[in-house]
Chain A
């Protein structure tokens, strides 16, 4: 079992719709969870992170965490063509330190 799993996609949504990206992780002791966006040919950039169960909102983005189910998701409201990118889920394993384990990413396509 991979430590961090994501559906590779592509996930296609129409402009203005809600895009839902999902991620599961294997280490139950993980404490911090991150969503990065990576445009084709570019480097990853952090969108948001979440520590606690529940929802965290930042503009059009909402991260959702369910530690019991070992599941973290990212919702993008009012999707725009500029949101088309690969979204990487990352998990900080227990034990401290700054190490992140990344999923392989989900490609999102927002269609006009």
Chain B
């Protein structure tokens, strides 16, 4: 079975532009997580969904960030407008109900110039 799929794998954009990151969780998993990883702050949870419903978005840094999960097989994380401090690796992870293991996607490396 395919793992968590993320696209794009790399994104370079200019400050002020809109950025959309995409994630397809493992089939059958009903929890989806968006993380951001930087050298300074490590791996931080931004938001997570259970059964397509946002459960905890307390890690979303500000209103410029938004996330959606329109169906069980797709989620987006959008940054509008983007800023240089948003440069990081963004990971999507999924897990199945009652399971402890979160499976991470390969990540999207975002550079905002």
Contacts and interface: CB of A to CB of B under 8 A. Distances in A.
Q: Please classify the interface of chain B as helix (H, G, I), strand (E, B), loop, or mixed, using the class held by over half of its residues.
A: strand
Nearest to A4: B42
Given A43-B91, A97-B56, A102 B104 contact: no
Taking residues whose C-beta sits less than 8 angstroms from the other chain, chain B's interface range is 20 to 34
A105 B42 contact: yes
Given A97-B56, A99-B48, A43 B107 contact: yes
Taking residues whose C-beta sits less than 8 angstroms from the other chain, chain A's interface range is 10 to 19
Q: Please classify the interface of chain A as helix (H, G, I), strand (E, B), loop, or mixed, using the class held by over half of its residues.
A: loop
Contact of A34 (B44, B100, B105): B100
Interface of B: 31, 33, 41-45, 48, 50, 55-56, 91, 95, 100-102, 104-107
Interface of A: 32, 34, 42-46, 49, 88, 97-105
